[in-house]
Chain A
Amino acid sequence: MSTLEITVSVNGNSYTETVEPRVTLVDFLRDKLALTGTHIGCEHGVCGACSVLLDGVPIRSCLMLAVQADGREVTTVEGLTQEDGTPGILQDAFRDAHAMQCGYCIPGMLIASEALLRDNPDPTLDDIREAIGGNICRCTGYVQIIEAIQLAAERLREANR
């Protein structure tokens, strides 16, 4: 069984690990690095729960091999907290707006929202819907998730004023 040594930067920390080529990025993050915040939903690129940022842009980590992340920078939901480990503005907004019920989809929703708000501090409703269009939530009907993103956008604009 062939293996490869890869070095991946995850949330600012560099990890060098030996992996089989068949290991997907999400399994690498969860099983090798014990970063279990990134969830596996459908495992074939439909639900968006496993979304992470790759070199700053959102991708589905179940649709990428870990070996393809060699030399790249990954941000997972754990990387969205503040430096002391407490929730960031976006995460707080999700809590305050009651954006989650079971919470399974939320890591992916947070990653998609983070990418949106970084590029677009004042998104329209359509911008928000488009940004989370690849993320499925089976509990909420999305209304409070959208409200949470609007709340986060407002708070981020305040904070950056």
Chain B
Amino acid sequence: MKPAPFEYARPTTIDEAVALLDDDSVVIAGGQTLVPMLAMRMARPDRVVDINNIPELAGIADKGTEIVIGAATRQVDVLNSALVAEKLPLLRKAISFVGHTQTRNRGTVGGSLAHADPAAEIPLASLAMDAEVTLRGSGGERRISVDEFLVGPMMTAREPDELIVSLHYALAPAGGRVGTGFHEVSERHGDFAMVAAAARIELDSGGTCRTVALALAGVDARAMRIPALEAMLAGQKVDAALLSRAVAEIPGAIDPGDDQHATAAYRRRVAVALSERALADALRNAEGGAA
């Protein structure tokens, strides 16, 4: 199980990297997904473009209205960031479920998003947080929502000549109280989720839900939001009864598959249970309780 031969490039700027990208190239950042694919020869690129030596691709910056995370920022650095813990708690909670020490030390946030596994936590949390992605290609730069970026299983809106530059997480306007919740069921801690739920709720001063986001992973071709549920909760004072009615929208809104890990019916039940817990946690958290 050894990779087939390829040419290796180590650019030091984003533009140099973009100039090397085409249909027969792949980008390597942390390599936690790409190297196994190379080893199993599921990927046989002509060229591997290593973006680890491009300083502007790594780092976490507070821009006032948003937090910008460079695509090649290591998962461990996001997990240990005081800024992320304070301002993006949902992302932090999600990354605590991603892999193990050894893989988080190399794996990057941009790499997880680019891989777009339907059960992956980073795309899931990013979708729940209405995050955006900046891509740069030969034709210039564009910024799209994570919702537009995620197309299907391991499929994204990235063009072959584009590089993910950064992820953008908008900060909530002052005055609201934001709470988050994240729940997951997997075979072992650190594995991809069988089902995972990420919730984010913003309450106004009177305790009414200003905004509600609920996203699920492992239940469809890509991470997805549940708009019908969100619409039932937004503008309401949410209690346990309303929450139970709202999560009943989930089974009909998702299309999970059967596989060796679980049946579709089981995934539907788990999706409902985890969503209810994640939303309840988010509510309690927004009301000032522990997350």
Chain A positions near chain B (C-beta within 8 angstroms): 1-2, 4, 20-22, 24, 27, 43-45, 48, 51, 54, 57-60, 62-65, 67-68, 112, 115, 130-131, 133-134
Contacts and interface: CB of A to CB of B under 8 A. Distances in A.
Give 6 closest A-B pairs by Cβ, nearest first: A134-B100, A21-B8, A44-B36, A22-B3, A63-B35, A57-B105
Contacts, number: 90
Given A22-B38, A63-B32, A2 B7 contact: yes
B3 to A, nearest CB: 4
Contacts of B188: 133
B50 interface: yes
A2 B102 contact: no
Interface of B: 1-8, 10, 28, 30-32, 35-36, 38-40, 48, 50, 52, 76, 99-103, 105-106, 188-190
A63 B190 contact: no
Contacts of A130: 101
Contacts of B102: 48, 51, 58-60, 112, 134
Given A57-B101, A63-B31, A134-B100, 13 more contacts: A1-B5, A43-B39, A44-B36, A45-B103, A51-B102, A58-B102, A58-B105, A59-B105, A60-B103, A68-B28, A112-B101, A133-B101, A134-B102
A62 B39 contact: yes
Given A1-B5, A2-B8, A22-B2, A65 B28 contact: yes
A134 B103 contact: yes
A44 B76 CA distance: 20
Contacts of A112: 101-102
Summarize A's interface: helix, strand, loop or mixed: mixed
Nearest to B107: A63
20 contacts: A21-B8, A22-B2, A24-B2, A27-B2, A44-B35, A44-B36, A45-B35, A45-B103, A48-B100, A57-B101, A58-B101, A58-B102, A58-B105, A63-B106, A64-B35, A64-B106, A65-B48, A68-B50, A68-B52, A134-B99
Nearest to A116: B101
A122 B76 CA distance: 21
A112 to B, nearest CB: 7
A21 B48 contact: yes
Contact of B8 (A43, A59, A67, A131): A67
Given A1-B5, A63-B36, A133 B100 contact: yes
Contacts of A22: 2-6, 38
Contact of A45 (B8, B36, B101): B36
A3 to B, nearest CB: 10
Contacts of A27: 2
A68 B31 contact: yes
Contacts of A115: 101
A82 B99 CA distance: 32
